[in-house]
Chains A and B, each alone.
Chain A
């Protein structure tokens, strides 16, 4: 019933695939009650669709070749990055206001080379083995950093102590169920505090084909895709962790790559095989961060002034909208 010009076959056998089957427009595969038959008709319909698509492609390609130079340019496929909702806070490279802001914000002393970064890495209470090892590895990756464990000390109390001892940054790694899952990065002399959710933490031994240990050389820093104002300030926070002058002899590079609001951290050793080819080898831990909140002063969860909080209901409504 309603099969058009195809001969009615027995169940399962069907006509040879090369015969063109015409389905009348009012026919829909889903109306057949018999499951086996319905499945069979569906497969046939699918085959036909594929054939049509292939024919269309061929036709288009022929047209394109026929036109030669006059052919319209190839259509760019849509990606999420292409379709991203335009964020009005995107930074132009020549924006004066942004440049002025950056010259006078909390990172100005760092970027003017007045301060050398000194970093304190700590954890939440009672860190378990994985977190401890991760802290150690992080300390080897970031030069001039020290790991201290705190047993029950309040963050608000250790911050003035840190400032007194000339630390410029504080990193607190929060742990849950024996796995690090959060990162609080605080720039010390009353700088901004960023709270991240950390995921996919891989220690050095879990990385395949890794190289030898990171050496003591100061690595270079790559910050990718930090486009908006918020992204810019976060990028500067990360840059302020590393000393300003990388030692190129070490050939190490730390990368913070932002993609769709996820910041991927990698640590590599590179080697230039020619001026067109470079090889990289991953050493060091890797993790991904997602920004949860950015606070103006140092860590203060109750009375702090929040510059940006991730509000799920408002900010996660569109799949094409990103904030960093």
Chain B
């Protein structure tokens, strides 16, 4: 009898459909009406029971009566409910006439919920579906490894620098940068004094990038460049850490100047004599105010 069943399964002994959590007990039985483990909602412990379940988008009403308790195969009777919501509710009422109120009520509630989620499914399938593509671990690992190796083989910095120098050589930058060409240098190497005045004369016509040691009026225009120059300087030449802009300006000028004359001599040689020149010149305070 159902009371015995309940006293066994519900309280004392083991029920395989029962799932306990901290606050509640759930019933995993597929014919359960509410999903909770109660005396009134246990399909095993009630000899007269009904549920609504859906299959492939259609809802069915399942009923179980005492007369068929001895025939497990025929225990659950299935009735197809109509697609029309109100009609289906009437059908439930019809079939469950004279049944306890609780079961009727819960059946209708369950049916409502099922129809609502079916509507939602239909709506969502019309929108864009997210297609899940599984990652293959071996392939991912292989590609990552190959990418690392390709990165090493690429030597990006060198490649970019080479390309930029190529473009400089092929004159794509036009007149912005006015470095004297190497051949020109070699020819001038013997005649230092003359080339100095010559290159000074050249630089008078320059625009922004070349700094001019003697002329002061160009310093102002190069403010935007100077900040970048500062950054670059801080990055590579750690030996010089002068703070003032003008010194760096002049240093740059001295660099480019020296490139014109003595490209073969080492960097140390390049820097020292001209740093003295920087300290000697009195132009700094005036240019500072101008540049600011």
Contacts and interface: CB of A to CB of B under 8 A. Distances in A.
A251 interface: yes
B160 A154 contact: no
A262 to B, nearest CB: 5
Contact of B163 (A79, A224, A260, A312): A224
Contacts, number: 106
B271 interface: no
B146 A260 contact: yes
A162 interface: no
Contacts of A280: 157, 160-161, 164
A278 B161 contact: yes
A17 B182 CA distance: 55
Say what secondary structure dominates the interface of chain A.
Answer: strand
A248 B160 contact: no
Contact of A272 (B147, B154, B168): B168
Contacts of A187: none
B151 A269 contact: no
A251 B128 contact: no
A273 B233 CA distance: 10
Contacts of A260: 146, 149-150, 153
Most A CB atoms within 10 A — which of B151, B154, B182, B255?
A: B154
Contacts of A262: 146-147, 150-151
Interface residue tally of chain B, by bracket?
A: 35 or more
Contacts of A272: 164, 168, 177, 179
A255 interface: yes
A275 B160 contact: no
B156 A266 contact: yes
Contact of B259 (A211, A268, A274): A274
A78 B127 CA distance: 53
Given A271-B229, A273-B255, A281-B232, A266 B147 contact: no
Interface in A263-296: 264, 266, 268-276, 278-281, 288, 290
B203 to A, nearest CB: 15
Interface in B132-179: 139, 143-144, 146-147, 149-151, 153-154, 156-157, 159-161, 163-165, 167-169, 173-174, 176-177, 179
A81 interface: yes
Nearest to B229: A271
Nearest to A301: B131
Interface of B: 127-128, 130, 139, 143-144, 146-147, 149-151, 153-154, 156-157, 159-161, 163-165, 167-169, 173-174, 176-177, 179-182, 208, 228-229, 231-232, 235-236, 255-256, 259, 263
